[in-house]
Structure 1
Amino acid sequence: MRVLITNDDGIDSPGLAALARAAVRHGWTAVVAAPAAEASGTSAGLTAAQDDRRIEVARRDLPDLPDVPCFAVAAHPGLIALVASQGAFGDPPEVVLSGINRGANVGRAVLHSGTVGAALTASINGARAMAVSLDVGLDPDVEHHWATAAAVASGLFDRLAALPPGSVLNLNVPNRPEVGPPRRAGLADFGAVRSKLHDTDDGTISLAAVSVDEEPRPGSDAALLAEGHPTLTPLRSVSEDPDVEV
């Protein structure tokens, strides 16, 4: 399998390198292309850094990936997935792995995730895709168990490769040294974290990430993840709604 590894935390994220190493160990032909700077919350946006829509690309070296081409791209992950499908980084990928994200992507709030947005963009361009996230919460000083998330993701690689082109999986892994197998879960009504609006006195608006106090629906991805289970949710990209009459 030809696989692209991307993310929305940026090219220097340890989770990106951990996921790429897992793909290489699995025997896949890997290319890494990720935002040059953090691009969280960008959904499937097709934004490039340059006003003339040209995209700056620079070669990078990542830890323990000496034979993997790695690129820092001045663009959001959705755009990276799009141009990769058109041969920007070699042959178009058959699989796109997005992550490992620093923080869970659960509930209907996955709409806003750049991690999930890259996977969905890849899917509508013919690749199988999986978004991978580690539930580290809002504490920046907590130990990040990247190896745990990479191991759970690796166990799903063959299953992902066997799915039809265009399939998307969303994997969330508890931030623990060891976890059990992933459980299939539906999307919660909301995510584990929400953005809270703050109006300021200088004519600007600021947002802060806050933990959600409401209890998620039992059996949902947010609920199972909070109980310590990895969760796996198949996602469908944009499609028409046959049940709405207009």
Structure 2
Amino acid sequence: MHVLVTNDDGIDSPGLWALAGAIRATGAQVSVVAPAEEQSAMSMALPPLTNRELRAIIPPPELDGMLAFAHNGSPVSCVTVAIRSGVLPPIDAVVAGINRGLNSGTNVMLSGTVGAAMIGALWGYPAMAVSLQYRGPEPMPWSTAAYVAQRLFPLLEQIRGHEPLVLNVNVPHLPSPSDIRGFRQTRLSEFFFGHYVDIDLHPPAPVERTQITFRFARERLPTFAIDTDDGAVLAGYVSVTPLRPMIDGSPIRLELPEQV
């Protein structure tokens, strides 16, 4: 199987290369096409493709021989270029991530990581988006999320041939895979980031040029049901939420791993 790996945090993100290594460890062929610079919260934006560049990248030494390219476009355009330009051999699946921060609740509609997986699904490929919980200054445990991606990789074969479908995976911020409580198939929470953002103007009255400060009010976050993506992650589980870009579609029940 030939897997396209991409992200929205950019070609220099350690999460991208952790994911590429994890997928290659399954025995799959892996190629990377990712944004040259961070493209977070781009959703499914597709900027004009004129005057865009694609440049070859040398992957980390442990991934020697992998085809890798940086594209100065959005995550969706990275996937589109990878599929339609002929620069890569034909692909069989799209995996996006590992994102720095959860993509849960209504955030999935903003996420460039999910957007990249979604366009892959619309092209007809099984697709997965992987995101890792962010905890301020604490180091990101990329290896935990990479382990999860590797364990869940077989699910792509489960969904092959279904109507367009993305497996949206959110991983709790835990130092070791052994700390994960398990895997849960979940639904989206009702979390909307807009309810928890405070905006300050400096100076406070509108003027011609005003500085704006955004603050995410974590202290106001509600509790979430365990069957939601946010609830599962906060309880220490890996959340797997099937997402469909189309309104109609039959339910799917995933055969998740029984143990971590």
TM over 0.5: yes
Bigger shift: residues 175-184 or 117-126: 175-184
SS at match of 1:230: strand
Larger radius of gyration: 2
Q: What are structure 1's unaligned runs of at least 5 residues?
A: 242-246
Match of 1:161 in 2: 157
Matches within 5 A, 1:197-208: 197-199=199-201, 201-203=207-209, 206=212, 208=214
**Contact 2:199 2:215 (C-alpha < 8 Å) held by counterparts:** no
Task: For residue 108 of structure 1, report the CA deviation from its aligned partner.
Answer: 1.8
Tell me how far apart the structure 2 counterparts of residues 220 and 40 of structure 1 sit (CA, whole Å).
Answer: 23
Deviation per CA, 1:51-100, whole angstroms, max 9, x where unpaired? x7232111112222111011111001011112222244313321111000
Deviation per CA, 1:115-154, whole angstroms, max 9, x where unpaired? 00000011001111100001023x1x21111111111111
**Contact 1:106 1:191 (C-alpha < 8 Å) held by counterparts:** no
Tell me how far apart the structure 2 counterparts of residues 79 and 115 of structure 1 sit (CA, whole Å).
Answer: 12
Match of 1:24 in 2: 24
| 1:190 aligns to 2:191 (yes or no) | yes
What TM-score do the two structures reach when normalised by structure 2? Answer: 0.83
Match of 1:53 in 2: 50
Q: What are structure 2's unaligned runs of at least 5 residues?
A: 250-260
Share of identical aligned residues, percent? 36
**Contact 1:26 1:154 (C-alpha < 8 Å) held by counterparts:** yes
2:181 counterpart letter in structure 1:
G
1:195–1:78 distance in 2 versus 1, CA, 3 Å: farther
Match of 1:121 in 2: 119
Tell me how far apart the structure 2 counterparts of residues 72 and 82 of structure 1 sit (CA, whole Å).
Answer: 13
1:191–1:27 distance in 2 versus 1, CA, 3 Å: farther
Match of 2:223 in 1: 215
2:184 counterpart letter in structure 1:
R
2:221 counterpart letter in structure 1:
D
What TM-score do the two structures reach when normalised by structure 1? Answer: 0.88
Deviation above 3 Å: which 4+ runs of structure 1? 191-207, 238-241
Match of 2:254 in 1: none
Tell me how far apart the structure 2 counterparts of residues 124 and 155 of structure 1 sit (CA, whole Å).
Answer: 24
Matches within 5 A, 1:42-191: 42-47=42-47, 53-63=50-60, 64-137=62-135, 139=136, 141-165=137-161, 166-176=164-174, 177-178=176-177, 179-190=180-191
Match of 1:39 in 2: 39
Tell me how far apart the structure 2 counterparts of residues 10 and 195 of structure 1 sit (CA, whole Å).
Answer: 25
SS at match of 2:154: helix
**Contact 2:185 2:227 (C-alpha < 8 Å) held by counterparts:** no
Bigger shift: residues 178-187 or 193-202: 193-202
Task: For residue 192 of structure 1, report the CA deviation from its aligned partner.
Answer: 7.0
Tell me how far apart the structure 2 counterparts of residues 145 and 156 of structure 1 sit (CA, whole Å).
Answer: 17
Tell me how far apart the structure 1 counterparts of residues 233 and 133 of structure 2 sit (CA, whole Å).
Answer: 8
Tell me how far apart the structure 1 counterparts of residues 223 and 6 of structure 2 sit (CA, whole Å).
Answer: 32
Tell me how far apart the structure 1 counterparts of residues 201 and 224 of structure 2 sit (CA, whole Å).
Answer: 28
Q: RMSD over aligned Cα, in angstroms?
A: 2.2
SS at match of 2:63: coil
Tell me how far apart the structure 2 counterparts of residues 55 and 29 of structure 1 sit (CA, whole Å).
Answer: 26
